[in-house]
Amino acid sequence: MFHKNNVIISYKDVGGVVNRTVKLAVNNGDTWIKVSGKGEKKI
């Protein structure tokens, strides 16, 4: 679905066994990732 809509992945946070949540503001494209134990970060 992302590729089909020209959404390019420019950041990755993989590995380990922690929860991750991604938030996307569709009005302006801002993206945040929240990693369990590390907090939230705008990417």
pLDDT tens track for 1-43: 778 888 787 888 888 899 999 999 989 989 999 999 889 999 8
User: Is 9 part of a structural domain of the chain?
Assistant: no
User: Is 33 part of a structural domain of the chain?
Assistant: yes
Residue type for 32, please?
A: W
User: Is 2 part of a structural domain of the chain?
Assistant: no
User: Is 32 part of a structural domain of the chain?
Assistant: yes
* Segments forming the whole domain that contains residue 43: 18-43
User: Is 36 part of a structural domain of the chain?
Assistant: yes
Lookup result for tokens 């993206």: 31
User: Is 11 part of a structural domain of the chain?
Assistant: no
Model pTM score: 0.65
Q: How many domains does the chain have?
A: 1
User: Is 35 part of a structural domain of the chain?
Assistant: yes
CA gyration radius for the chain? 12
Measure the N-to-C terminal CA separation of the chain; round to a whole number of Å.
Answer: 20
Residue 43's SS3 state is coil
- What is the reported pLDDT for 25? 92
Lookup result for tokens 């992302």: 2
User: Is 42 part of a structural domain of the chain?
Assistant: yes
